[in-house]
A and B are shown apart, each in its own frame.
Chain A
């Protein structure tokens, strides 16, 4: 290897330079908006109006963050967002791992039927309006349940976990069976601990999905300030041209806030909404890269 690295031809060297340059530009284009948002959020809000903040705040201050932590709607949204992320992720993990375990058992009698029943949901959906009517008929409008209940079972997640379990030696289950373990104990004591890497991946997918969703709040809970989420509040504040949800009355607080919120405040909220995920994902990278590949091969 090392000897090759020394006698690069001229063409090779040019190629390398151009390649590194292109990739560096891609990295810069990816990172710049985040750094810019961060810089603006740390800059004095009246000074920001003058423009020209790029990578570094001109008049450093933490006041924007102090201000937004005084907004009660945002704090409420923060609470609900965390709650739905935790509950939604746990329920999603439970359902996906249990279903995956049963579907990975070659001796399970209804395995074929359930697999097809599950796989079909990946190919069609009732559509926005029928789902809305269903939620209304189930009396889920204006409840916390509408955030976590509809998405508990996800076919994609089940199949990813199942293909992981298929890769585990079946002898483990058989020997546990010989030791007198029932199927639930096999699931709980043998399979779950071994599935940690794939469960970490799925947990990340689920948590990101829950944390980032705003449309269900808009559609189902727009007139319930007590059930608002962080993303929804950010949406209303950023999007001052749109008059909020159709279901909210026009003169609610967030809309008024949107008109008066200076750029720096908006950017501070953006950071608060974004940071929790950005802190977590690099540590899970090893897992989700594997999980993504596994899912794609099987799907």
Chain B
């Protein structure tokens, strides 16, 4: 007991001379050596793999040549960014990124919430449990597999086209994967298929926290199931929805590249290319490292700005929700 709380007591008693403070640091270091041994190696690890790449941003202001040492690199100021902001392709890529992340953001909210609310209305436990277990399944499958499945389902003789023909919604099979204007929808739908069940977990947990008596009272007042969903369940998880929504605004630009890369093909690049793929194609494939870094840096900086905005919004919201 004494040794555990000693650290606090020490700092509290010794706000005095810096020498005293220093000594208590070293004595803490020795006393808590196991805690340091269990954490410092990982801190160094984080520094190498997560912080050092930030140093790599210097490349964006150079004309980086891999063979040269850091001191010998040619510094070009904002030339790379100048080139980037004058590239028509960049705006196309930015449009695609924002479009797909915006669609993903909205769909990623509506569908899991709907699914959670509907599932919550199910009274049969076995049905509920089986439905939920199955709904997680696609989350655990890689994008490689999902892209393969989507491609085969949407192929000319795939099930989707067959259904459309059978329902007379289409006269001839639609070439989904070959037409650019389908691409954003395909990516979003694949995302819905893969993640709806998984993302519903949080909402289901939030719904469990709603007071059951509210439903009883509503029933007495003659509220039907829809009224209960609309007036009790949804308001009950409102704060969860807001928190998650605000947090995901911060990730608008970091939507990844896996699905776009796996589902895209040469025919739809105008719609499938996103910032990360653009950085990959320029920065690594044809070794324009500095230009690629400028793209990556743009992406990271905007993401952080978005996150701060989202965080500010979140704080404001948190304050309001308390009042």
Contacts and interface: CB of A to CB of B under 8 A. Distances in A.
Given A127-B296, A183-B34, A215 B141 contact: no
Contact of A15 (B7, B225, B307): B225
A239 interface: yes
B140 A277 contact: yes
A71 B59 CA distance: 42
Per DSSP, are chain A's interface residues mostly helix, strand or loop, or mixed? helix
A242 B265 contact: yes
Contact of B226 (A15, A31, A108): A15
A19 B121 contact: yes
A126 B296 contact: yes
Given A107-B5, A108-B35, A23 B122 contact: yes
Contact of A152 (B45, B131, B279): B45
A104 to B, nearest CB: 10
A195 interface: no
Nearest to A54: B159
A32 B254 CA distance: 31
A138 B7 CA distance: 39
A15 B224 contact: yes
Interface residues of A, number: 94
B78 to A, nearest CB: 17
Contacts of A121: 46, 50-51
Contacts of B265: 241-242
A99 B39 contact: yes
A12 B276 CA distance: 49
A129 B293 CA distance: 5
**Contact count band on B:** 35 or more
A184 interface: yes
Interface in A103-152: 103, 105-110, 114, 117-118, 121, 123-134, 136, 138, 149-150, 152
Contact of A130 (B43, B57, B137, B303): B57
B108 interface: no
A293 interface: yes
Interface stretch (B86-94, B99-107, B144-152, B179-187): B144-152
Given A107-B5, A123-B304, A246 B225 contact: no
A86 to B, nearest CB: 17
A30 B193 contact: yes
Interface string B21-59: 000010011001011111100110110111111111101
Nearest to A238: B148
Contacts of A136: 66
A208 B35 contact: no
A238 B152 CA distance: 10
B38 A129 contact: no
A51 interface: yes
A283 B112 CA distance: 23
B303 A26 contact: no
Given A124-B304, A130-B56, A150-B49, A27 B135 contact: yes
A223 interface: no
A93 interface: no
Nearest to B208: A293
Given A27-B131, A118-B46, A125-B300, A130 B54 contact: yes
B304 A183 contact: no
A95 B297 CA distance: 29
A256 interface: no
A11 B225 contact: yes
B43 to A, nearest CB: 6
A208 B143 CA distance: 12
Most chain A CB within 10 A, of B123, B149, B250, B283, is at B149
Contacts of A149: 49
B13 interface: no
Given A12-B224, A102-B35, A285-B136, A126 B54 contact: yes
A129 B292 contact: yes
A99 B38 contact: yes
B123 A5 contact: yes
> Which of A211, A274, A292 gathers the greatest number of chain B CB atoms within 10 Å?
A274
B63 interface: no
21 contacts: A26-B131, A95-B45, A98-B42, A102-B35, A127-B299, A129-B59, A130-B54, A130-B56, A149-B49, A187-B38, A212-B140, A214-B143, A246-B284, A246-B285, A266-B148, A270-B145, A281-B136, A285-B133, A289-B201, A293-B202, A296-B244
Interface of B: 1, 3-8, 25, 28-29, 32, 34-39, 42-43, 45-46, 48-57, 59, 66, 115, 118-119, 121-123, 127, 130-131, 133-138, 140-145, 147-149, 151-153, 157, 159, 193, 197, 201-202, 205, 224-226, 244, 247, 250, 254, 257-258, 261-262, 265-266, 276, 279-280, 283-285, 289, 292-293, 295-297, 299-300, 303-304, 307
Q: Which 6 A-B residue pairings sit nearest by Cβ, starting from the closest?
A: A126-B53, A127-B296, A130-B56, A212-B142, A183-B34, A129-B283
